[in-house]
Amino acid sequence: MPVMNKDARIYVAGHRGMVGSALVRRLEQDGHTNLITRTSRELDLRDQAAVRAFFQEERPQFVFLAAAKVGGILANSTLPAQFLYDNLMIAANVIHAAHEQGVTKLLNLGSSCIYPRLAPQPLTEDALLTGPLEETNRAYAIAKIAAIELCDSYRRQYGRDFVSAMPTNLYGPEDNFDLHGSHVLPALMRKMVEAKERGAPSVEIWGSGTPLREFLFVDDLADACVFIMREVSEAGPINVGTGVDLSIRALAELIAEVVGFRGELVFDAGKPDGTPRKLMDVSRLSKLGWSARVELREGIERTLAWYERQRQQGLVRS
């Protein structure tokens, strides 16, 4: 297994995002001194020539591919071309450049939505490509499946040490709290904080409240990524999750409790539910020696504390 020394040149692609910033925090805590980052303005990862020139100049030894166009159910279903094109281009350019440049190891990040909509639960890694995908995020899922296939193909054809981690739904500091683009957890947190402040009697929850989702705190994901980078070298997706899920209604009730919102929860059946359930089978990674640590309530409390600080500093976009 290649050793990621403290002075190894490590490129974190997507370091401004929730996952990338958690990775940077984690790697800095571990004493890594040679982190390479670029904002999307400095380097457009959809531009093949720019990505190739960047890899030639910086010669990273380890790459965490956490850059992606991401969003919640609404953004995924209304912007499919962008989710497909951006994510295909980012993956193809970064993975190919990593190959050309002889990168020691690359970790590709995907998502649990790569699995078929009605795959048996909990989702095992071998459910990949066994059935039709969920409609609301098919474009994104196909880009993420292509990225896994790229990693596995470069492993098979060229012996590259490229691995793929598939996290469940994530949340935490640096999440997107914009209500049109965000995922459910930050959306409900924001709605409830604002409703409490205004003294509003209710908040609106999309869909029926019955879909089941699993939530992983982003610092746990960063920990898993570092573990996989150090310890795992295998083809195929590796699930990263908690192995525990809950309904959107139960999630809303828990957030309300943590926020201190006592109003009514109103469900809007006109909004999509998405996939009914996507609970990860995490036994592959737990057998390898990693499991999640942060409980959902604690993670929500830590996310709320971060969000409140952002609000106080006037950093929340409306």
In DSSP terms, which residues pair with 277 in a beta bridge?
A: 212
CA distances from 108 to 14, 202, 210, 211, 283 (A): 12, 40, 31, 27, 20
Q: What is the 3-state secondary structure (H, E, C) of 166-185?
A: EECEEECCCCCCCCCCCCHH
CA-closest candidate to residue 186, choices 206, 170, 209:
170
14 scored as a contact of ligand GFB (CB under 6 A)? no
Q: What share of the chain is helix, strand, coil (3-state, %, to 5)?
A: 45, 15, 40
21 scored as a contact of ligand GFB (CB under 6 A)? no
234 scored as a contact of ligand GFB (CB under 6 A)? no
Residue nearest to ligand GFB (CB): 72
63: alpha, beta or left? (left if phi > 0; alpha if psi -120 to 50): beta
**The residue count for the chain:** 318
Q: Give the dihedral sign, CA 298/163/21/91.
A: negative
Nearer to ligand GFB, 28 or 268 (CB): 268
87 scored as a contact of ligand GFB (CB under 6 A)? no
State the virtual CA torsion across 242, 245, 248, 251 in degrees, nearest 10.
-60
184 scored as a contact of ligand GFB (CB under 6 A)? yes
113 scored as a contact of ligand GFB (CB under 6 A)? yes
Q: Which residue in 137, 164, 176, 242 binds ligand GFB (CB under 6 A)?
A: 137
Residues 267-286 that bind ligand GFB (CB under 6 A): 271-274
Q: Which residue in 61, 182, 242, 303 binds ligand GFB (CB under 6 A)?
A: 182
Q: Least distance to ligand GFB from the beta carbon of 271, Å?
A: 5
Q: Which residue in 183, 242, 284, 290 binds ligand GFB (CB under 6 A)?
A: 183
- How far is 139 from 12, CA to CA, in rounded Å? 24
Span of 61-69, 200-208, 228-236, 239-247 interacting with ligand GFB by CB under 6 A? 200-208
Span of 69-77, 100-108, 149-157, 291-299 interacting with ligand GFB by CB under 6 A? 69-77
Nearer to ligand GFB, 61 or 169 (CB): 169
Which of the following is catalytic: 115, 140, 154, 171? 140
Strand ranges (DSSP E) for 66-141? Answer: 105-109
177 scored as a contact of ligand GFB (CB under 6 A)? no
Q: Least distance to ligand GFB from the beta carbon of 83, Å?
A: 8
- How far is 241 from 267, CA to CA, in rounded Å? 27
Span of 136-144, 145-153, 283-291, 305-313 interacting with ligand GFB by CB under 6 A? 136-144
CA distances from 266 to 40, 202, 203, 255, 270 (A): 38, 7, 6, 14, 12
Burial class (CB in 10 A: 0-12, 13-18, 19+), 185: buried
**String of contacts with ligand GFB for each residue 152-171, x by CB under 6 A:** -----------------x--
At residue 134's C-alpha, the angle toward residues 215 and 170, to 5°, is 15
- 154 as an active site residue: the answer is no
Nearer to ligand GFB, 80 or 236 (CB): 80
116 scored as a contact of ligand GFB (CB under 6 A)? no
Where in the sequence numbering do the catalytic residues fall?
140
Q: Rule CB under 6 A: which residues touch ligand GFB?
A: 72-74, 76, 111, 113, 136-137, 140, 169, 182-184, 187-188, 205-207, 211, 213, 248, 271-274
